[in-house]
Each structure stands twice: as C-alpha cells, then as structure tokens.
Chains A and B, each alone.
Chain A
Amino acid sequence: MDNKILHSVTAIFHTPDDIINAAKAVVKEGYKKFDVHTPYPVHGMDQAMKLKRSPLGYFAFVLGVLGATLGLLLMYWTMTIDYPLNIGGKPTFPLPAFIPVTFEITVLLASVATVVAMIVIFFKFPNNSHPLHDTEYMKRVSSDKYGVTIEAADPNFDLEKVKAFLAKLGGTNVEPIYFDNDEINAKRTLLEPKFLTGLAVISVLVIAITYFTLNKLMFLEPFNWMMNQQKITAMEVTTFFDDGFSMRPPIEGTVARGFKPYPYKDSVDLASRFLVNPMEFSTENLENGKRKYNTFCSPCHDYHGNGVARLNGQFPNPPSLHTDKVREWTDGHLYHIITVGQNTMPSYDKQLTQDEKWQVILYVRALQRALNAQEGDLQ
C-alpha cells in the first residue's frame, strides 16, 4: 500500500439524477481534475461538468476543405496537366464532371480524419493500461452504475477530505485507485532483445512480401491460353505438312485480288499490238505517275527522261526517252518493258502495280510531249 501511487478516488452513484447532482457539487467544490463515468451519455452532463463544446466540428470543416482541395488538385493535375485527354472535344478541365469525385473525397477525408483525430489526439487511444481499467469501479460503470472520480493530481486533492466529500454526496463504494506498479516500473528500451527480434521478423516478412508482390505476383499469368495459342506462324517449320512449310502455296491458277495476269511475257510485239492504256489523261493520274516515276525511274532516266543518271556512273546510263524510236513505241510496248525489263533495265513488276505502270506511262508521254511540243498544244 505504501509504495503504491494513488491515481484517484472513485465513488458509485445509482441514478442519473444523483450523478448530475454529484457532478455539479464536484464542480462547485472547485475540483478541476475529475471525471464522470456513465454507461451511456447522460443528457445535461456536459453542462453539469461545465465542459466546453467539443471542437471536433472545426476539425471536420478544415479537413473537409483540405479534402476538397486535394481532390480537385489531383483531378486537375492528372486530367489537365499530366495527360490531357480529348474526350469528344470537351474541355480538359470540366469542373461539373469533377464535382462528384470532389464531394466523395471531401466526405472521406473529413469523416475518417475526424474520427482518427478524436481517437488519437483527444482520447489518446488506444490505451488499455489506464489505472481505471479492470477495476471493480469500471465493471460497474460500464454496465449499470454511474461514477465520479477525483484525481490525485488535482491541486485541491486530499485523500481523507475527498473520501468524506464523496460519501456525503451519496456515493457508495468510495475507493481509492492506484497505479499499477508493474506498469510504471516496466522499462521498455529500444534495445530490448524481444523488441529487436520482433522488429527483425517484421522486416524480413515485409521484405519477403514486397519482393513476392512486386516480382512474382505482378507477373503471374493466371491463364495464358489467350497469350500462348496453338498456332504456327508463317515462317515456322512444321511437321503438319509433308513439305515442312507452314505457309501453304496457293492453289494453281489463284489470282490475287486486283491482279490481272500478264499473258505477253514472251512477246513484245503482241503486247504493243493488244495492250491499251486504260488510264484517263487526268491530273490525278499524272500526279501519281509523276510520283512513281520520280521514285523508281528518275534515278537512271533523270527527272525529265533525258537519260542523265544521278548514279555517278555506277550503273550504265540509259538512252533518252525523247528519241523518235521511243516516242513511236506504243503504250503496250512501254508497259512490256516496265513489266519484264529490257537490256540492263530490270523488271519493275514488283515495285509498281498495274495501274501505277499505266500512270507512269501517261507521265512519260507528257514529258515527251513537253520537249516536242506542237503548235496545236498551245491552244
């Protein structure tokens, strides 16, 4: 008893009226460090104890404003600054569309932070080692009784006087409450082996979980059959077909879409006799012919068909396209040359489509006409 430190003196009251009266009397007597314990909030007790109105409402207001600001800033930064998205031509800072999320973040932050502030700042909870815990007094006030405690830390505290005062008010079970010596004397230092071991175990666990999450879990493929399907790609070797090719040759006589077979490969005479340029003499066709001519023909034939190559002699110069011989060749003849080649000129069958060949021929005709204009052309 002697070496125990006194925390407070408690008294039990039996009706709500008694406890209100007791609280008023305690205040009147001038005690500051006292408390009333009731199993539920008793109306009028705050006034009886002369408690100030709880400032939690202001906390909630400030945190709500903070939440609204942070929410709006987050949306402004992501949608307007960091990665503006054009959604149907709407503005990148659509305030009305931001209102729902702003509201939700306001409510979330304000309510959660108010509760946390109350628990941590106002109550200093969690705290399960208060001297009142586990006392007979606490067991009664948590169920059906009402109690008053006057703490030893109060400047007016005097053990005998307080006991007499509480008994006079009608309090029963007037008892002193002591600090638990074990609690007070227990030394908790940072270097306690138990604490260090615990810390080490937690660190290892956190590292392991983080490693597993970031390096294994994130790359887990729960089902990979969409990723790895049973198929063979074009150039793969396969045992499925006898020839080992995965790509199948087309059936004999297959013609590609938009492709017309060229039957005059061996005979320039037939080509020049039967082939007619199907292209109209229009700006569009000429433009396209010019583009293709400049790309594929001009390196050797020159932009104007003069036969002055830009290849610095690395390839023999072709003859000019403006000779009478070439000018008198039919379109079919030119087509045949472009398709199968002539002398050192290779085939341009793969570079140009059929229509493009005809367009190039139109352009060549235009070039020839330009250097050999007739009087009628001026009209």
Chain B
Amino acid sequence: MATDITHEVSVIEGKPTLKEIDATIIKPMDEMPNIKFFIAIGFTTTLLLIGVFSLGMAFYRGVGLWGVNNPVGWGFAIINFVFWVGIGHAGTLISAILFLFRQKWRTGIARFAEGMTIFAVMTAGLFPLIHVGRPWLDGYLMPHPNQHNLWVNFTSPLLWDVFAVSTYFTVSFVFWYMGLVPDFATMRDRLKNSTVVSKVKKTIYSVLSLGWRFSNRHWSHYEMMYLVLAGFATPLVLSVHTIVSFDFAVSIVPGWHTTIFPPYFVAGAVFSGFAMVQNALIIIRKVFNMEHIVTLDTLEKMNKVIIVTGMMVGYAYGMEFFIAWYSGHEVESFAFLNRAFGPYTWAYWIMVSCNVIFPQFFWIKKLRRNIPFMFVIAILVNVGMWFERFVITVTSLSRDYLPSSWAYYVPTIWDIGLLIGSFGFFFTLLLLFTRTMPVISIAEVKSVVAGSQPTRHKLGHHEEDEHNG
C-alpha cells in the first residue's frame, strides 16, 4: 500500500492546543517541586558529595591515591573522560544531525538531549583538569603569552582534546541557549506582575530572552542561524570523538594504534549517548506527564538508533580482531587475544554482552516498545560502554611490550569515589535543569503539532517557493 509521503506524520500524540503545550512544558517551573524531587536531588547530591570528597583528597594527598602506576599510567580519569564526552554526543546528534535530515521526531527530545550534552561535557571536562594533580596549573592548557615563554605543543593529541572539548562545549551551549531564547520569552509573557516572586522571575526571563519579540523578521534570521549552527555542529561532533580517539590511536601502544578508532569511537559515543537520553527521558516524561510529547514512537526510533550504532560498535570489535590477525603482527595479535582471554577477560565479555548482544533484543518490536525493558537495556548499554573504555585503556597498557613490567591494574576506592561523584554532578545538574528551564522546546513543538502550519503550505509548498523565490 502506498503511503502518502507528502503529508508529515504528526510527532505529537493527540491534538493539544498551543496553550496546553505551554502549560504542560512550563508546569515544572510554576509549581513547588514535590517530595519525590527532593528525594531525587538529595540522592544525587549525596553522590556529588562523595565525588567532592574524593576529589578533595586527591588534591590534598596527591594523585598517588589512585590506582594508576607503571605500566598502567592511564586509569579512571581518562576512562571517565571518554565515557562522559561520549554521552554528550547524542545531544548534538539529535539537535544538529537529525535537524539537517529533517527528522521531526527530534523536536520532543532535542532540548533535553542538548542539555544533557552540556552537562556531560562539563562532567567530562573535569577529568582532564583533575588528573594533572595540581589544578592551579590548568591555565597552561590554553596557549597564552607568559613569562616563561612557554607555549603549548600544538602537535599533541592531548592538546587537540583541549580545543575540541572546549569548542564543543561552547558551540553546544550557544546552540542550546539560542533554542531557549523564544521559550524564555514565552515564559516571560505568561507571568503576571502580581507577586514579588513573579516579578523576580519576570526580570530573569526578560534578561535571558534578550527581549525576543517573536517577529517573523527575526525568525527568518533565526532559522538561518539554526541551520548554520547545525551545519557547524555536525562535523564538530564527529571531530570531537575523533580527536578523543586520537589520544589513543596516535600513540604506538599495541591495541591502540589502529585507524578504525575514530569511526568506532564516534559510533560508540552516539550509542551510549542515546542510551543515556533514553534513560533520563523515560523518567522525565513519566514524572512531568509529557507522554504525549515524548511519545512511544520517539522512544522506539531511539531504540532503532541504539541497535544500529550497537552493531557498528560490534562490527568494530570484530574488525579489530580481523586486522590484528591479518596484519600478522605478533604484538598486535597478542594485544587482542590478551584483551579477550587475558586477565581482563571479565571486563571484555561484560562489554561485548552489554554492547552487542543485549541490544539485539530490539529487533523484536514488542520489546522495542516495552518501556521497562528498554530502560534496563539502556542502562546495560551504558555499563557496557563504560567497560569498553576500561578495556581499551587498561588491557593494552597492563601488558605492553616488556613482559617483565606487566601488572594488573586495580582501581582504588578514590577512583570509584570520583566515578560516583561524576554521576552525582551530572544528574544534579540535570535535575536542576528540569526545574528551571523548559526541558522541551516550546516553539519547536508548537511548530510540529497538528494544524500549526498553513494548510496551503502542505499542498502547494514547492510551487509557491518557485513563484516567490
């Protein structure tokens, strides 16, 4: 049966009026949070405090508290860094790449995913700053004229990281904020100047909205700006994890020195990012009654992205082994056999089962649309992706060229405290975000709701373009 492709399928369930959309999305900002919210934020801030304490100890006593030593000099700090940067990638993919592909289903989740990007990159950015052990020297990461006539080494992948992550954060932040401007204006105009609280709120929203007037002369520039930013963010997001993978691939450690790393890392990043967005959205849509905006169809589409990227990652795992064998290089072959069957075999098989095997359940439509099931799978995917970074970093280092210096890396309690703290940091920011800003783009959702665009537009859009353009 031929499907009518000239009509866009509505991504919003039912037919809410524009006022109802305002009310639904702005509701969390209008009400006092309930006890559940306080329990949740109490939990996340506890995690955060564990992290703060571990961090304070690491600064006070030195990074010797961590499990890193010869030969495994890269431990949890870089694992967590790569993990969190990867989480961020889903946001930009949803907001920029899916925007360029005109995927309307992204509207319901784009804002939230962008917010997650920012918080994830902030979390990730902590680790490079922490791992130097003397945080007051972090300023030298950025090139600036100084008395020591000291410049950074622009040929080092670690410095490329500094530029990639800071650019990524800035551009994501600008993208996110520009999306928020019309929504702040809507929130500003809903408030009545009756109480002190609403006056304060109004002032804040007025400042943040920059004085947005919903003028179509502005929308015209605004849409062009959005297109340009999406066009920049797309190669940017691919470059960021490519550069992160260069940290490994540019070195000559067996198991790291492979050309498959950039695409493999990017696929893995999108994979874990989607799983994290999935997890958080399932909770958010339930708590804030937004099931009709973040629909089951959207979640199903995300599951499809998860299975695709999961298989890309699985392909990379297989291809690494093939190339190791095909190269005929003794050390390279050993590195991969050691990965799968060496002392870290437990970590390797956790990774493979979580990343490649479990997502295969999503081939079954019933499971793909089963919310508790997809929640569990998404958590497992994140576990798997964390272990992927662990496996890559630790197995290659723990058994390198010199057998006499082989050692088994064990993280200490301070390493684990920092990992827990990073989750606390991320989720605390996320919870505050849900209470202070619209987690779903009001203007974008309005523009895709049924009946929001001119009827004539649907029928004779292209002819009209030719006449007027």
Question: Within A193-247, which residues are at the interface with B (CB < 8 Å)?
Answer: 220, 222-223
User: Could you tell me the distance between the alpha carbons of A25 and B443 in the complex, rounded to whole angstroms?
Assistant: 26
Residue from B17, B152, B214, B233 within 8 A of A38 (CB atoms): B214
**Given A17-B454, A56-B221, A222-B136 in contact, is the A107-B236 Cβ separation under 8 Å?**
yes
Distance in angstroms between the alpha carbons of A36 and B214 in the assembled complex: 8
By beta carbon, the residue of chain A nearest B164 is A104
For B40, list chain A residues within 8 Å (CB): none
Contact B461 A44 (CB under 8 A): yes
Interface residues of B in 130-186 (CB under 8 A from A): 136, 143, 149, 151-155, 157, 159-160, 163-164, 166-167, 170-171, 174-175, 178, 182, 185-186
A123, B218: Cβ atoms closer than 8 Å: yes
Q: Which residue of B lies closest to A220 (CB)?
A: B136
Q: What residues on A are CB-neighbors of B157 within 8 Å?
A: 100
CB of B400 closer than 8 Å to a CB of A: no
Q: For residue A362, give the distance in angstroms from its CB to the closest CB of chain B.
A: 45
Contact A114 B464 (CB under 8 A): no
Alpha-carbon separation in the docked complex, A54 to B216 (Å): 12
Q: Could you tell me if A37 and B216 are in contact, using CB atoms closer than 8 angstroms?
A: yes
Asked if A138 and B457 make an inter-chain contact with CB atoms under 8 angstroms apart, the answer reads no
- Cβ contact within 8 Å between A83 and B151: yes
Residues of B within 8 A of A20 (CB): 454, 456-457
| B-contact 0/1 string along A100-140, CB 8 Å cutoff | 11011101101110110011001101111110110000110
Residue in A23, A53, A114 whose beta carbon sits within 8 Å of that of B225 in the complex? A114
- Cα(A57)–Cα(B469), bound, Å: 17
Asked if B232 and A107 make an inter-chain contact with CB atoms under 8 angstroms apart, the answer reads yes
A87 interface residue, CB < 8 Å from B? yes
Known contacts A39-B186, A107-B167, A142-B214; A101/B446 CB under 8 A: no
Q: A50-B468, A56-B224, A111-B229 are in contact. Are A37 and B214 (CB under 8 A)?
A: yes
Is A6 in contact with chain B by the CB < 8 A criterion? Answer: no
Complexed CA–CA distance, A5 and B466 (Å):
41
Q: Taking CB as reference atom, which chain A residue is nearest B447?
A: A40
Q: How far is the CA of A115 from the CA of B217 in the complex (A)?
A: 16
Residues A42 and B454 in contact in the complex (CB < 8 Å), given A83-B151, A111-B171: yes
B213 at the interface (CB under 8 A from A): yes
Q: Which residue of B lies closest to A77 (CB)?
A: B151
How long is the Cα–Cα vector from A15 to B457 in the complex, in angstroms?
A: 13
Which of A38, A98, A141, A142 has a CB less than 8 Å from the CB of B154?
A98
In the bound complex, do residue A16 and residue B221 qualify as a contact, i.e. CB atoms below 8 Å apart? no
Does B37 touch A at the CB level, under 8 Å?
A: no
Q: Which of B278-318 contact A (CB under 8 A)?
A: none
Give chain A residues whose Cβ lies under 8 Å from the Cβ of B227. 57
A41 within 8 A of B: yes
Cβ of B207 within 8 Å of any chain A Cβ, yes or no, is yes
B465 touches which of A47, A74, A107 (Cβ 8 Å): A47
Does B19 belong to the interface (CB within 8 Å)?
A: yes
> CB-CB < 8 A to B219: which residues of A?
38, 41, 45
Nearest chain B CB to A78's CB is how many angstroms away?
4
- Cβ-defined contact, A139 with B221, below 8 A: no
The answer to whether A143 touches B189, judged by C-beta atoms less than 8 angstroms apart, is yes
Are A54 and B174 closer than 8 Å at their CB atoms?
no
**Contact across chains for A130 and B213 when beta carbons are under 8 A apart:** yes
* Contact (Cβ within 8 A) A16 B185: no
CA A143 to CA B461, docked complex, whole Å: 26
Q: Which residues of A contact B151 (CB under 8 A)?
A: 78-79, 82-83
**Complex-state Cα separation, A138 to B187, whole angstroms:** 12
Most chain A beta-carbon neighbours within 10 Å: one of B17, B60, B159, B212: B212
Give the residue of B22, B154, B206, B221 whose beta carbon is less than 8 angstroms from that of A123: B221
Please determine whether A101 and B163 come into contact, CB atoms closer than 8 angstroms.
yes
**Residue from the list B190, B246, B444, B465 in contact with A40, Cβ < 8 A:** B444
Question: What 1/0 flags go to B19-61 for Cβ under 8 Å of A?
Answer: 1001000000000000000000000000000000000000110
B215 and A79 form a contact (CB under 8 A): no
A154 at the interface (CB under 8 A from B): no
Chain B contacts of A110 at CB under 8 A? Answer: 228, 232
Q: Check B155 against A87 for contact (C-beta < 8 Å).
A: yes
| Total number of B residues with any Cβ neighbor in A under 8 Å | 77
Q: In the complex, which of the residues B59, B228, B454 contacts A114, with contact meaning CB atoms closer than 8 Å?
A: B228
Quick one: which of A61-90 are within 8 Å of B by CB? 74-75, 78-79, 82-83, 85, 87, 90
A188 at the binding interface (Cβ < 8 Å) = no
Contact of B195 with A by CB under 8 A: no
Chain A residues, Cβ within 8 Å of B154: 75, 78-79, 97-98, 101
Q: Which of A42, A105, A108, A143 has the most CB of B within 10 A?
A: A143
| Partner of A101 from B159, B171, B218 at Cβ < 8 Å | B159
A356 within 8 A of B: no
Shortest CB–CB separation between residue A72 and chain B, in angstroms?
10
Q: Flag whether A144 is at the interface (Cβ < 8 A).
A: yes
* A341 at interface by CB-CB < 8 Å: no
Contact B153 A51 (CB under 8 A): no
Chain A residues, Cβ within 8 Å of B404: none
A128 — which chain B residues lie within 8 A by C-beta? 206-207, 210-211
Q: Does A287 contact B (CB under 8 A)?
A: no
Is B3 on the interface with A (CB-CB < 8 A)?
no
Interface: A280 (CB within 8 A): no
Q: A139 to chain B: which residues have CB within 8 Å? A: 189-190
* A17 vs B406: C-alpha distance when bound (angstroms): 73
Q: In the complex, are the beta carbons of A36 and B216 less than 8 A apart?
A: yes
**For the complex, what is the distance from the CA of A100 to the CA of B59, rounded to whole Å?**
32
Partner of A39, one of B143, B229, B446: B446
CB neighbours of B225 from chain A (8 A): 54, 56, 114-115, 118
Q: Is B453 an interface residue (CB 8 A)?
A: yes
CB of A94, distance to nearest CB on chain B (Å):
6
Smallest distance from the beta carbon of B274 to chain A beta carbons, Å? 23
**Chain B min CB distance to A99 (Å):** 9
Q: How far is the CA of A114 from the CA of B207 in the complex (A)?
A: 20
CB A372 to nearest CB in B, in angstroms, measures 61
Q: Is B455 an interface residue (CB 8 A)?
A: yes
Give the residues from 301 to 347 in chain A that come closer than 8 angstroms, CB to CB, to chain B: none
Contact residues in A for B215 (Cβ distance below 8 Å): 35-37
Chain A residues with CB below 8 A from B170, complex form: 108, 112
Which residues on the B side are within 8 Å of A17 (C-beta)? 454-456
Does B243 sit within 8 A of A, measured CB to CB? Answer: yes
Give complex CA distance A147, B238 in Å: 41
Question: How far is it, in angstroms, between the C-alpha of A138 and the C-alpha of B202 when the chains are bound?
Answer: 14
List of B residues within 8 angstroms of A35 by Cβ: 215-217
- A sample of 26 cross-chain residue pairs with beta-carbon separation below 8 angstroms, ordered by A number, consists of A16-B452, A16-B454, A36-B215, A37-B213, A37-B214, A39-B443, A43-B453, A47-B465, A47-B467, A49-B216, A83-B151, A97-B154, A100-B160, A101-B159, A101-B163, A103-B235, A103-B239, A104-B163, A111-B228, A111-B232, A114-B229, A123-B210, A123-B221, A133-B213, A144-B18, A220-B136
With A57-B224, A108-B170, A223-B60 known, 15 other A-B pairs at CB within 8 A are A16-B457, A39-B186, A44-B454, A47-B468, A47-B469, A54-B225, A94-B155, A105-B163, A112-B174, A114-B225, A126-B210, A128-B211, A141-B214, A142-B190, A143-B189
**4 interchain residue pairs of minimum CB distance:** A144-B18, A54-B224, A47-B468, A97-B155
